[in-house]
Amino acid sequence: MSQATTLILLPQTSYTGGPPPNTIVIGNAQPAASYYLSSQDLQTVSWATTNFKGTLTVQASLLDMPATDDDWFTAFNVVYSDPAGTTINSFHNIVGNFLWIRTTINNFTQGMVQHVKVSY
């Protein structure tokens, strides 16, 4: 089955420097595959980075309306720690009956994320 829905979890985002609040980015919460069809459990997350250094985390929620950070859990995590940064286009399949999905970046200390998208 082809994937018909593609949503942006994080638009183009550049490291801006400064104190620690700028090292954490929380992307847009989007409906996950099970939001519309409870039997749909496969999501493909894709991302592109340039000279990026940080931790890219995909979080999911099982709640109808997640309201706080405690309503989210980690579904996938990847750390890019090369001192020169990492330039990559990649993807990861995530299986789960999630209602919502979002991306966070922690320890964001250099580079750019062109996008993080979810398809299902």
pLDDT at 4: 84
Q: How many domains does the chain have?
A: 1
Give the pLDDT confidence score for residue 10 in this predicted structure: 97
Residue 46 lies in a domain: yes
CB distance 56 to 105 below 8 Å: yes
pLDDT band at 20 (very low <50, low <70, confident <90, very high): low
The answer as to whether 88 is a domain residue is yes
- Domain membership flag for residue 1: no
Q: What is the pLDDT of residue 36?
A: 86
What is the pLDDT at residue 1?
A: 46
List strand residue ranges (DSSP E) for 24-99, in order.
Answer: 25-26, 30-31, 42-61, 73-80, 86-95
pLDDT band of residue 59 (cuts 50, 70, 90) is very high
CATH of the domain at 35: 2.60.120
Q: Is the pLDDT of residue 21 over 70?
A: no
CA dist 16 → 20, 110, 111, 112, 120 (Å): 11, 8, 9, 9, 32
Q: Within 13 A of 68's CA, how many CA atoms are on the CB side?
A: 1
β pairing state of 25-26 and 13-14 = unpaired
The CA distances from residue 49 to 9, 24, 73, in Å, are: 14, 16, 23
Cβ neighbour number for residue 94 with a 10 Å cutoff: 19
Domain containing 28 equals: 6-119
Residue 56 has pLDDT above 50, yes or no: yes
Predicted local confidence at residue 37, as pLDDT:
82
Residues 6+ positions from 8 with CB-CB distance below 8 Å: 28, 30, 115, 116, 117
